[in-house]
Amino acid sequence: MRLKDKVALITGGAGGIGRETALLFAREGARVVIADVDDRSGKRLAGRIERAGGAAAYCRADVSRDGDCASMVAVAEAEFGALHVLFNNAGIMLAEDADAVATSEEVWDRTLAVNLKGVFLGCKHGIPALRRAGGGSVINTASFVALMGAATPQLAYTASKGGVVAMTRELAVIHARENIRVNALCPGPLRTELLMKVLDTARKQQRRLVHIPMGRFGEAREIARAALYLASDESSFVTGTEFVVDGGITAAYVTPEATRPR
């Protein structure tokens, strides 16, 4: 088992990428804390893991709130004795998110509060727990749009994910000698409820698919497998990266010059 004796905290753990990751981490031996605002789905998922012989706990947490982030880390240590893997995965994509002219301040503030501030607060409270455990892995969910922008305007979302990538790089450098690795996981377009609510017609979906060399949306379980690698000791020399799992979209549209350090 690749995560035997590890304790993992997954925000946004009740659905999509978080749900698939919680199930996979549990199968690989981790004790899992599922943090979410969807109490019903979170409790059901924790129960499913336990019935399958795993160990899981659900904790209600709005990651935009400092107190909730402190509480979810406290739950991990109280329930399972330590924290080794912090997966800052919770995120939102609002249908009203558009360009700079059309996006309201409310949509901007809410998006950055969850997608960017939520990662900051997760790290603020989670990194001290990783220190207490002797080190570990932080995985921050970003997006391919952080590297290349979006074909359809979604400015707040893109800006929030760009911030996650920048913050990840700095945290990786700061904590590299503490045995704490920090990586950004950058999925491409996925067939998840989050994206399908925005791409709610066949025309919108096709407009996005035309840009993906593999010609399909990714699946949440595929991103979970990438998270498993970053969580496990197999990635022991990997930190500060943008781990891209995108069906080839950035390879098709981002030139080497655009990503070369200046």
Per-residue pLDDT of the chain (262 residues; tens, 9 = 90+): 999 999 999 999 999 999 999 999 999 999 999 999 999 999 999 999 999 999 999 999 999 999 999 999 999 999 999 999 999 999 999 989 999 999 999 999 999 999 999 999 999 999 999 999 999 999 999 999 999 988 788 999 999 999 999 999 999 999 999 999 999 999 988 877 777 677 777 777 776 777 788 888 889 999 999 999 999 999 999 999 999 999 898 988 876 655 554 4
pLDDT in tens, 166-202: 999 999 999 999 999 999 999 988 877 777 677 777 7
Q: How far apart are CA 253 and CA 210, in angstroms?
A: 12
At the topology level, CATH places domain 7-188+220-243 in Rossmann fold (3.40.50)
Phi/psi at 115 (5° precision): -75, -30
The first and second tokens of residue 173, run together, are 């450098």
* Catalytic residue IDs: 157
Q: How far apart are CA 97 and CA 69, in angstroms?
A: 25
Q: How far apart are CA 185 and CA 53, in angstroms?
A: 28
Q: How far apart are CA 27 and CA 223, in angstroms?
A: 16
Q: What are the residue boundaries of the structural domains of the chain, listed by start?
A: 7-188+220-243
